[in-house]
Amino acid sequence: MAEATTTLSNMAKLYFYYSAMNAGKSTVLLQSSHNYHERGMKTLLLTPVINQRDGEGKITSRIGLTKDAKSFKQEDDLYLLVNSTHEQAPIACVLIDEAQFLNRPQVEQLAKVADKIGIPVLCYGLRTDFQGNLFPGSAALLGWADNLIELKTICQCGRKATMNLRTDAEGNPIKEGEQVEIGGNERYVAMCRKCFVEAIS
């Protein structure tokens, strides 16, 4: 019987770490990247251009951790981007912040990175918007990712928070508007479904 071998290519998967607001997604992403670097491995951090809350090409956590990242646009082919970077210097892992802003072709390209190049891809993002609707990127990841991992946070009532309430400057709930509106803790509140429905009723 041939001895079993484990290679990077058959370990590589597409992961989607999803949550409501303020669950520490960026913190977990940066910690994961740090773990690779501690072992002498190179990672590629990606963030969408639309996410300029902390400046373009930055991933910043709520606890103050910041790392430079490569920005990408909606029209960018992420398979080609990762492959060209990997050819210059081997990459052990690709980590993507605000993955809800990916489009479906880009999710398929990231699946190809895992399947063809053999690099694990870790995506971190919101599952739903302030109306409880899936983001396009999240919907695609829920269908295409090999592994789905929920990062949990708590509602003000103590239940698990699964929804994202958008508020105005006075803290009043907002029920209508564009799906994408970049804002931090001051604009969104993570809530359980029960409290979310009560807030918008």
* Active-site residue set: 98
For residues 138 and 128, give the distance between their C-alpha atoms in angstroms, rounded to a whole number.
8
